[in-house]
Amino acid sequence: MQLFIVDAFAEQPFEGNQAAVCLLDSEVDAQWMQQLAVEINYSETAFVAPRDDGYHLRWFTPGEEVELCGHATLATAHVLWQHVLDEPSTDQASEILNFDTLSGRLTARRSDDQIQLDFPATQATAVQPPEGLLDILGIEQAVWVGQSRFDLLVEVGTE
């Protein structure tokens, strides 16, 4: 096992959104992953293990496994390309990573010095705001509140 700390969405250390990335030789017990995520205590710890056609990727918070995490996926792709896979090649297939996750197949594509992620699009449907949500956000009224499989979306009238 190798463990990396990555500052996603950042151009220099100690900025951005931190994620831990744990490279595994093979899949391990979920309880062990959860215990490591508790010890690391970042918002997400990504666990990635190789498969024949890509990688199995799971994300854990200190409290639970989650179905989707953007910044930890970005961090995982970065670690794989920087520390595991060969230098950029002319073979287009080597520039794409496939991740099997609880939210389905996700892909990361390397383009020059950028990483592009392809995540599932999930429609939000209108809902009543959960009790306390608007207070937590510091707003009196929302223009629209919706919920998707993964998130709540709140549209506000002004900044």
pLDDT in the model for residue 29: 96
Please check whether residue 121 is in contact with residue 80, taking contact to mean a CB–CB distance below 8 angstroms. no
Please check whether residue 144 is in contact with residue 133, taking contact to mean a CB–CB distance below 8 angstroms. no
State mean pLDDT over 108-118: 89
* Residues with catalytic function: 44
Chain-centroid distance of CA 140 in Å reads 31
The kind and range of the H/E element at 146 are: strand 144-147
Amino acid at 21: V
Q: Whole-structure pTM over 0.75, yes or no?
A: yes
Kindly state the DSSP code that residue 81 receives in the 8-state scheme.
I
Amino acid at 55: Y
128-152 per-position pLDDT tens digit: 999 999 999 999 999 999 998 878 9
pLDDT in the model for residue 94: 63
2 φ, ψ to 5°?
A: -125, 145
The pLDDT-based confidence of 88 (bands split at 50, 70, 90) is: low
